[in-house]
A and B are shown apart, each in its own frame.
Chain A
């Protein structure tokens, strides 16, 4: 997963298609667990869904703009629009089922 730090870069990355943003912090245990699941998912869904990550300590504005108060948090964007937020560690298959409906409507 690519780590996005700058605000402009972020706006650019979520602009088009289905993008899942992983909000994390380096000191957060469950975030690390989730990261490996998202790495797997990004391979499985390659070409259909983009996965990026944002460190809430380095990019506080991006985090607050997206109302992140608990981590890990995953936000699903479609063409720049925030569609859904999943808070907390979630098993891979359940994350996948949350993303899939957005693929259908393409």
Chain B
């Protein structure tokens, strides 16, 4: 296990990136988790006219400027998916597949792409509904597994599961061509309801039904309430004060995940505040 970071930033959209800049300037040891593509939402935006200093630019152009800024500051993004974060009091433990990281403080900047749960999803979480393939794979050895994924990245997990489960059904929720092992049965239909009694036993789709033991739902990000147990949410957003502090000591949040308006410049501003709040917190902890 590696050394403890001062700060871990989860999310590489404008909020996370802005936080990373400030952490770098304040010379804190930090790690930023996300995507080298930064933010799919930003990349797809046609025209953004209210980001100060960038007029008439497309999302892709602004994204490129962000990338250049990061490069100039020598900031690199760690492309690993954080599955859970445990608030241990004076530090946080981040579970990333088989790895574990530690950080004195964290900034949650995961955006609002975590999707609406399917009917039955929350009810069967832990009873057949899974968000982390690597974590729970052994429990599904020789069982039937259905995987619903929102990103082509996840095809690696699908192939991995096909070596463990007795059968894998794959429901891709993205447009790109699907390239997975031959043994995987691809279903082009929309999931509607997750059913079972004590545990999951069936998935109802719009035009069909499948018997299954496990349902792996691989979205871009997990809802913060699931990601960080004990975190106070306000319906779909993380509750923060003006300093971007959450109810958990050392845990801050910024960007779309803390609320409306969903605007890039607001996210960048909040990332800045969250980072500076984290820096004060780190300095205070280090004094003890």
Using a CB–CB distance below 8 Å, which chain A residues touch chain B? 29-30, 33, 36-37, 40, 69-70, 88-92, 94
Q: Is the interface of A mostly helix, strand, loop or mixed?
A: helix
Most chain B C-beta atoms within 10 Å of own C-beta, residue among A37, A40, A90, A91: A91
A88 near B95: Cβ-Cβ < 8 Å = no
A33 near B127: Cβ-Cβ < 8 Å = no
Whole-angstrom distance between the Cβ of A105 and the nearest chain B Cβ: 25
Q: Is the interface of B mostly helix, strand, loop or mixed?
A: loop
Indicate the size class of the contact surface on chain B.
Answer: 10 to 19
**Chain A residues whose CB sits within 8 angstroms of the CB of B93 once the complex forms:** 33
Identify the closest chain B residue to A88 (Cβ): B229
User: Given that A29-B95, A29-B135, A70-B126 are known contacts, is A37 also in contact with B89, CB under 8 Å in the complex?
Assistant: yes
**Chain B residues whose CB sits within 8 angstroms of the CB of A30 once the complex forms:** 84, 86, 229
B88 near A33: Cβ-Cβ < 8 Å = yes
Q: How long is the Cα–Cα vector from A30 to B87 in the complex, in angstroms? A: 11
B87 near A91: Cβ-Cβ < 8 Å = yes
B84 near A40: Cβ-Cβ < 8 Å = no
Q: How long is the Cα–Cα vector from A36 to B198 in the complex, in angstroms? A: 31
Is B230 on the interface with A (CB-CB < 8 A)? Answer: yes
Is B187 on the interface with A (CB-CB < 8 A)? Answer: no
Whole-angstrom distance between the Cβ of A56 and the nearest chain B Cβ: 14
Q: Which 10 A-B pairs have the closest CB atoms?
A: A91-B230, A91-B87, A33-B86, A89-B229, A70-B126, A94-B230, A88-B229, A89-B86, A90-B230, A92-B89
| 1/0 contact string of B229-271 vs chain A (CB within 8 Å) | 1100000000000000000100000000000000000000000
**Chain B residues whose CB sits within 8 angstroms of the CB of A70 once the complex forms:** 126-127
Which of B175-221 touch A at CB < 8 Å? Answer: 198
| 1/0 contact string of B105-149 vs chain A (CB within 8 Å) | 000000000000000000000110000000100000000000000
Identify the closest chain A residue to B86 (Cβ): A33
**Chain B residues whose CB sits within 8 angstroms of the CB of A90 once the complex forms:** 229-230
Whole-angstrom distance between the Cβ of B239 and the nearest chain A Cβ: 14
Whole-angstrom distance between the Cβ of A70 and the nearest chain B Cβ: 5
Q: How long is the Cα–Cα vector from A40 to B88 in the complex, in angstroms? A: 10
Identify the closest chain B residue to A34 (Cβ): B86
A91 near B229: Cβ-Cβ < 8 Å = yes
**Chain A residues whose CB sits within 8 angstroms of the CB of B135 once the complex forms:** 29
Identify the closest chain A residue to B95 (Cβ): A29
**Chain A residues whose CB sits within 8 angstroms of the CB of B87 once the complex forms:** 91
Whole-angstrom distance between the Cβ of B8 and the nearest chain A Cβ: 16
User: Given that A29-B135, A69-B127 are known contacts, is A91 also in contact with B95, CB under 8 Å in the complex?
Assistant: no
**Chain A residues whose CB sits within 8 angstroms of the CB of B126 once the complex forms:** 69-70
Q: How long is the Cα–Cα vector from A33 to B229 in the complex, in angstroms? A: 12
Identify the closest chain B residue to A40 (Cβ): B89
Q: How long is the Cα–Cα vector from A36 to B86 in the complex, in angstroms? A: 12
**Chain B residues whose CB sits within 8 angstroms of the CB of A88 once the complex forms:** 229
Other than the known A30-B84, A33-B86, what 16 A-B pairs have Cβ atoms closer than 8 Å? A29-B84, A29-B135, A30-B86, A30-B229, A33-B88, A33-B93, A69-B126, A69-B127, A69-B198, A89-B84, A89-B230, A90-B230, A91-B87, A91-B230, A91-B248, A94-B230
Contact of B88 among A29, A36, A69, A94 (CB under 8 A): A36
Most chain B C-beta atoms within 10 Å of own C-beta, residue among A33, A37, A69: A33
Whole-angstrom distance between the Cβ of B96 and the nearest chain A Cβ: 12
| 1/0 contact string of B67-89 vs chain A (CB within 8 Å) | 00000000000000000101111
Which of B151-177 touch A at CB < 8 Å? Answer: none
**Chain A residues whose CB sits within 8 angstroms of the CB of B229 once the complex forms:** 30, 88-91
Q: How long is the Cα–Cα vector from A40 to B198 in the complex, in angstroms? A: 34
Identify the closest chain B residue to A95 (Cβ): B230
